[in-house]
Structures are given as C-alpha cells and as structure tokens.
Amino acid sequence: MSAGYNFGFMDEHAKKEIRRAILKAIAIPGYQVPYSSREMPMGRGFGTGGLQLTLSLIGENDTLKVIDQGADDSVNAVNLRQFIEMTCPGVDTTTYLSEATLIQSRHRIPEVALKPEQVLILQVPYPDPLIVVEPSEDKRKMMHGEADYARLLVKLYEDIVKFDEITISHRYPTRINRHYVIDPSPIPRWDVPKLNHSPALILFGAGREKKIYAVPPHTLAEPLAFDDVPFRVEDFSDEIGNRRACVRCGSRESFLDEFTDETAGKVYQCSDSDYCDGQLAKQSGKEAVYA
C-alpha cells in the first residue's frame, strides 16, 4: 500500500472551496463563513484551520514563515512547517518576516508591520466571541446578523463594576467594519491594534469549528470598549514604573515573554524571535535582511 498525495495534501476541490470561502470572508469583513473543514494529519486544536488556509493559498512561488507564540522554533510551528515542506515541494520557507509572502501564526502578530503583498493566517480555537454568553450556534447566528452584542457588552460592564476594568486578556472582542464582532484568536491585546487599517490581508481559520473569517486591508477594527473606559494593552513596567527591556536585544517596544532562569531569576525576552534577531543585527550593523 502506498499513499500518493496531491501538492498541498488536499485535493483541488477542497482547496477551491476554501478559496471561495476566503473570498466571501473578505467581501463580508468579520463574518464567519462556514466551510467543510477537512481532517488533517495533525490534531484539531493544533492549527488545522490555519493549515487548510495556507495549503489552499500556497504555490511554488511563495515563501512561507510559520510561528507559534512568536517563535519559528516552537514545537507547533516546527511540526506545521515540516508538514508543509513535505507536501509542497518547491516552496521556500524562512524565518525572516521580510522574505515571507505567507505567514501562518498561532497567538501572535509580528512586531514589524506587514506589507501589502503579504498574507497573515491566524490559527483560531474559538471563532465566536458570543460563545461566552450563548451556547447555541443557531441563536448566535441571529445575534451576529442583527449586530446584537448587548449581552457581550453587559459582560464588559459587569467586569468594570467588579474590577474597575475590563478583564479580558487575550481573544479581545473586536468590531470589524462597524458590524461583526470577531474573536481575533488568542493574540494578546498588544496585537489587536495591528488589525486596524492593516496594510496586509489577515485571515482567520478555525479547523475544528469549521469557520473562516477575514479582516481585509484598510478596514476598521475597533476593540469593544466604552467611550469613557478605553481599551488598554498589556503593561510591561517594572515596580518603579520603567518599561522593561528584552534581556537579549534591549528593545523596550515589543511584547515580552516572562520566564525563570536558574541563575538570573526572572527574565524578559522578546516573544517575536525574528524581531529580536533583527534588533541585534541592527546593533551589529548586519541589518540587510531586516529592511
């Protein structure tokens, strides 16, 4: 017995259906387009939605970057990248953002602004922000159709009453083009502003929940907030109020990972590994590829 796979693993009909769903998603910004998600050789929850988007869009002229938690070397990213390399012979892969045409990412948007020729694909576990207030999909569809987000907004109100601020940390509900509210995937609040008037197309793929949605370029993306309680990103200040720096490259402008080192204690380092490498390269004059 032997298995012969098509370029991109999925058959052409599956890819075509997904591209059609993508076009519909772009035409209706923020609307969750249902599609018949195919089973992939990696588990549901491991990025099969993002993967199907990538495989439907990728061609031999593409250069692919895959990151998880901002790093190219994280196990999930490595696994996906190897699978794509195996099933898409001739496609280049890279860790340099500037070289990439397609970027598949889990939980982060790169620190450096994307270019119009690039497409960012985000992996989504929960496509629907209304799931926290309404378990029935049928009812949620009606609420989205009528832009009836009052029950979600009440949750934000109750948060402010209890904690003096909105306590949603990641997956912050964001309104696209003044109608549909999306779950922007578990990116930190830090990354939500990058959705607003993005130069590049941003696609969202939920494999298990079988939905595709999009924030097209130059589209309004507003995190839900009250007029007098504005949206706030994560705070990287230390106890005396100074903004922490990355221990590796010194940047005070990026999202930092916090972890413990046996000798040094608490350590802070850029989550976006390519960005960190770029900062170091700039400092030593070897910055050509990070232009």
CB of 49 to other proteins, least distance (A): 11
- Alpha-carbon span 9 to 86, nearest angstrom: 9
Structure tokens at 221: 């993306």
Q: Which of 8, 30, 50, 207 is catalytic?
A: 30
Task: State the nearest-atom distance from the C-beta of 241 to other proteins, in Å.
Answer: 12
Active site residue 270: yes
If the CB atoms of residues 22 and 256 are measured against other proteins, the closer one turns out to be 256
**Distance of closest approach, residue 116 Cβ to other proteins, in angstroms:** 26
Q: Tell me how far apart the alpha carbons of residues 79 and 204 are, in angstroms, rounded to a whole number.
A: 19
Among 70, 205, 207, 246, the active-site one is 246
Candidate list 43, 276, 278, 285, residue with the active-site label: 276
Q: Which of 50, 88, 205, 249 is flagged as catalytic? A: 249
Which one, 19 or 248, has the nearer CB to other proteins? Answer: 248
Six-digit token string for 258: 């916090």
> Is-catalytic flag, 88?
no
Burial of 266 (0-12, 13-18, 19+ CB in 10 A): exposed
Quote the distance between the C-alpha of residue 113 and its chain's center: 14
Whole-angstrom CA distances from 137 to 122, 129, 143, 257 are 22, 11, 10, 35
Among 257, 252, 287, residue whose Cα is nearest residue 272? 257
Shortest distance in whole angstroms from residue 117 CB to other proteins: 26
Indicate the residue among 70 and 173 with the shorter CB distance to other proteins: 70
Catalytic residue IDs: 30, 246, 249, 270, 276
